[in-house]
Amino acid sequence: MKVTPKVNLIRYTADPEATVALAAKLCYSDRELPELTEHIMEKDNSAFISKLTDMGHLSPIEHASFTFSIEGVSRAFLAQITRHRIASFSVRSQRYVSEDSFNFVVPPAIEELGGAAVARFLGQMDTIMDWYRDWQSALGRGEKSNEDARFILPNACETKMIVTMNARELMHFFELRCCNRAQWEIRAVAWLMFGEVIKVAPNLFRDCGPACLHGACPEGNKSCGKPDEVKKMRDELFKNIKKG
């Protein structure tokens, strides 16, 4: 069955902006921690968080972490997101979990070709499922058969995962992966993740997004040339949160 990305923020540091503010102010305050904590929790920290990010004082931001469930993505996506090494990943195993009726991702470029092309792709997925089941049967089924039968599976095969990143790494992730030059699937997931975190920490992530939003595009002559469209997309996410 064809699937599309689904992202949920399932856990995060309690009051992430206050946690970041506490960590930053501790560096310069002579107050005892209980007093400082009470002071931080009683006030609005939005202006201080904005000042902190404007200054580039980002180490305190690492104290806030966010955990996402991600599904409806391909094994090709898995290869890309795990390049972000300052993160934790737990991924559904193709060794312990049978893929004899696997879901899959259809690339947009194939969908744009129309019905005949999509039908051809779906038929190929069905063929691969048959090949996979054939190897499972030949290998005796069970964990050992899954282990080797999976070598026939395509990059399109769906996977599910839990991903945790701290806020500073998320900023870096959004800078790289929300860019129009990023591969389409990880870009789509990055924007979904961005939409989730700004619901709970809008001040922390207010200026996040591709590098072109803060200056010249680092892609040079390979730039998409659409920074205004990207900024509009980001602004729309914040507008939707305020409406909600």
Residue 119 CA neighbour count, 13 Å, CB half: 3
Which residues face 70 on adjacent strands? 7, 161
Q: Which residue in the block uniquely carries the two structure tokens 């290998």?
A: 139
Catalytic residues: 177
Q: Check residue 37 and give its pLDDT.
A: 86
Q: Which residues of the chain have pLDDT under 70?
A: 243-244
pTM: 0.93
**Interval 139-172: pLDDT, tens:** 987 778 999 999 999 999 999 999 999 999 999 9
Can you say whether the dihedral through the CA atoms of 190, 195, 199, 204 is positive or negative?
Answer: positive
Give the three-state DSSP class for 88. Answer: strand
Residue 159 near residue 104 (C-beta atoms within 8 A): no
What's the pLDDT at 244? 59
pLDDT (0 to 100) of residue 43: 80
